[in-house]
Amino acid sequence: MNLKICIAQLNFVVGDVNGNAQRIVAAAQKAYAQGARLVLTPELSICGYAAEDLFLRPAFVQACEDAVEQVAQSLADLEGLCVVVGHPSGGDRRTASVRVQERFNCATVVREGRRIATYAKQELPNYQVFDERRYFAPGQASCVFEAGSGNATVQVGLLICEDAWFDAPAQAAREAGAQMLAVINASPFHIGKGYAREAVMAERARACGLPLAYAHLVGGQDELIFEGHSFAVAADGALAARAPSFSESLFMVDAQPEAGRLVLSGAVEPLRTGQRDLWDALVLGVRDYVEKNRFPAVLLGLSGGIDSALVLAVAVDALGAQRVRAVMMPSPYTADISWIDAREMARRMGVRYDEISIEPEFAAFKASLSPLFEGRAEDTTEENIQARIRGTMLMALSNKLGAMVLTTGNKSEMATGYCTLYGDMAGGFAVIKDLLKTQVFALARWRNLHDPYGSGVEPIPDRIITRPPSAELRANQTDQDSLPPYEVLDAIITHYMENDGSPEAAVAAGFSSADVQRVTHLIRVNEYKRRQSPPGIRLTHRSFGKDWRYPITNRFRG
């Protein structure tokens, strides 16, 4: 007889402790009705991930403890059901001179109204976006509990996320009698991470000779995305089941004895392309940021260029056309084709579209400043004035209408400072902040060939993709007047910023010394701008957010 396991791949809201508890209860009740007798929820499911300095508030940790009890009591009448709930536990103990941290990242097993086991995470990650040693102390003991009943019982070894990336916690669970491992997780997305997890968990299963079920969070939380993609692997590391990505799922896995070993099996979602993952991550990130922060709608400046076009397509896929508004704000340097293409894209996407010329405001600014600027030629000052007028227009509409402004700057611009403070950087959420310009073009082409959310085929006019990119802030301007070709620029950014390579190594790899020095200099001197940019969706292993913590005042040149 088999044990049916439900991986409750759910989307939680940080701090909504009671709401998250209710979601767990509803999922467990539904899974029980479908025959599940073990339900796995993600890491820190009670409070949501990542709750950051909320963990330092005793009232918050106590609310989470109370919510675990609420889950246990609400499921007390479901005979034989075990539910694994992630939550913080403990607090701080003060001695005469210091505060000793005794909070733990825990997983508690509830069954028939009681807590039957609790496990504290042993390996606390402190790299990339992770900062768990700030909040938690490491656990010390393994945890094995019995799930199921009668002749369908299984000894389950419990691990939390990072624990499974090391050998010792899994081996300790095996030595304590585990027949399988259950790993609950909240591991932020970056491109390729889902399949990397599968490979590492396959290695862990082979090393300890136990099958493994991996329960993962789904949803967006500020800059972070969690893509779901829960799965199970056999004791020999072979993939046994894979849940959908970027959507909630009560994913069922069967555990059945076979020839003296426990075998896991379930449905297997097909492999996905990187472009589809990127698109779904952007859509989920926008949707959850808007919904969880209760914005009624969004608006953006639609310039007729590639970046704003891509952001508009993402926003419509995420929220629907009725909640997205586009505003074209032409200046004296806006080309006719920019007007034409912006209007056409808005028509294809079905969004509210307005045009507001900034020429009167631009002329007024120049007239007011002309006595002070006398004798000085026009330069980037006048370019930035145009961008700041547009930023003011968008924020005025945001204040009046209640819609949040989506900014449209990409990672190449964030890296090099090719953006204007209080201008095109003004807004609430930077959708493509972690997408290099070359990736923007590639993803736009992909979206024109695919319609994953039914919002319309080929939403981006082809000329937007094929024309040379320009900020259109002076006559006959192109981006390459100020920057190396994007293929070169993005490769240097990847080498230096994403992979911590040295300038010397970049030159040795074939890039010109002039380009390398120019790009690395721009990255260094524009940290002050990045500190003032809105939060944006993390798509790579090194984003300009929690992954990047460089000082503004800095004279190191390596």
Active site residues: 43, 121, 161
Question: How far apart (Å, rounded) are the C-alpha atoms in residues 397 and 44?
Answer: 38
Phi-psi map region of 113: left, alpha, beta (phi>0 left; psi -120 to 50 alpha): left
Contact criterion met (CB below 8 Å) for 232 and 213:
yes
Query: Reduced to 3 states, what is the DSSP secondary structure of residue 204?
Result: helix
Exposure letters 211-241 (e unless 16+ CB within 10 A, then b): bbbbbbbbbbbbbbbbbbbbbbbbbebeebb
Name the token pair of 358.
Answer: 């900034």
Contact criterion met (CB below 8 Å) for 55 and 94:
no
Using the structure block, give the residue that is written with the tokens 């019995």. Answer: 146
Question: How far apart (Å, rounded) are the C-alpha atoms in residues 127 and 139?
Answer: 19
| 524 to 418, 424, 527: CA distances (angstroms) | 13, 20, 6
Question: How far apart (Å, rounded) are the C-alpha atoms in residues 102 and 113?
Answer: 26
Name the token pair of 240.
Answer: 């046994």
Using the structure block, give the residue that is written with the tokens 């990242």. Answer: 105
Name the token pair of 50.
Answer: 């990542």
Contact criterion met (CB below 8 Å) for 432 and 282:
yes
- How many separate helices (H) and strands (E) can be counted in the chain? 16, 20
> Rounded to a whole number, what is the distance in angstroms from the first to the last CA of the chain?
62
Query: Reduced to 3 states, what is the DSSP secondary structure of residue 438?
Result: helix
- Give the strand pairing for 239-242 and 249-258: unpaired
Query: Reduced to 3 states, what is the DSSP secondary structure of residue 221?
Result: strand
Question: How far apart (Å, rounded) are the C-alpha atoms in residues 116 and 109?
Answer: 6
Q: What is the 3-state secondary structure (H, E, C) of 361-396?
A: HHHHHHHHHHHHHCCCCCCHHHHHHHHHHHHHHHHH
